[in-house]
Structure 1
Amino acid sequence: MNEARSAAADKIAARVRDLRYGTKLSRKKLAERADMDVSHLARIESGQGNPTVETLIQLATALDVTVEHFVEGLTAADLPSNVKPYSEADFRRALRGEAQASQK
Structure 2
Amino acid sequence: MKEPRSAASARIGALVRELRAQTVTSRKSLAERADMDVSHLARIESGQGNPTVHTLIQLATALEVRPEVFVKGLTAADLPESVKPYSEADFRRELCQRQRPDAS
Identify the residue that residue 60 of structure 2 maps to in structure 1.
60
The gaps in structure 2 that reach 5 residues or longer are none
Structure-2 separation of matches of 1:70 and 1:6: 14
TM-score by length of 2: 0.94
Asked if 1:48 corresponds to 2:44, the answer is no
The gaps in structure 1 that reach 5 residues or longer are none
Q: Percent identity?
A: 71
State the secondary structure of the residue aligned to 2:12: helix
Q: May I ask how many residue pairs the two structures share in their alignment?
A: 103
Structure-1 separation of matches of 2:15 and 2:83: 22
RMSD (Å) for aligned C-alpha atoms: 1.1
Whichever structure has more helix as a proportion of its residues is 1
For 2:101, give the aligned amino acid.
S
Deviations 1:18-50 (A, max 9, x none): 000000000011001101110010000000111
Structure-2 separation of matches of 1:6 and 1:103: 37
In the TM superposition, what is the alpha-carbon distance from 1:103 to its structure 2 partner?
6.3
In the TM superposition, what is the alpha-carbon distance from 1:95 to its structure 2 partner?
2.5
Identify the residue that residue 81 of structure 1 maps to in structure 2.
81
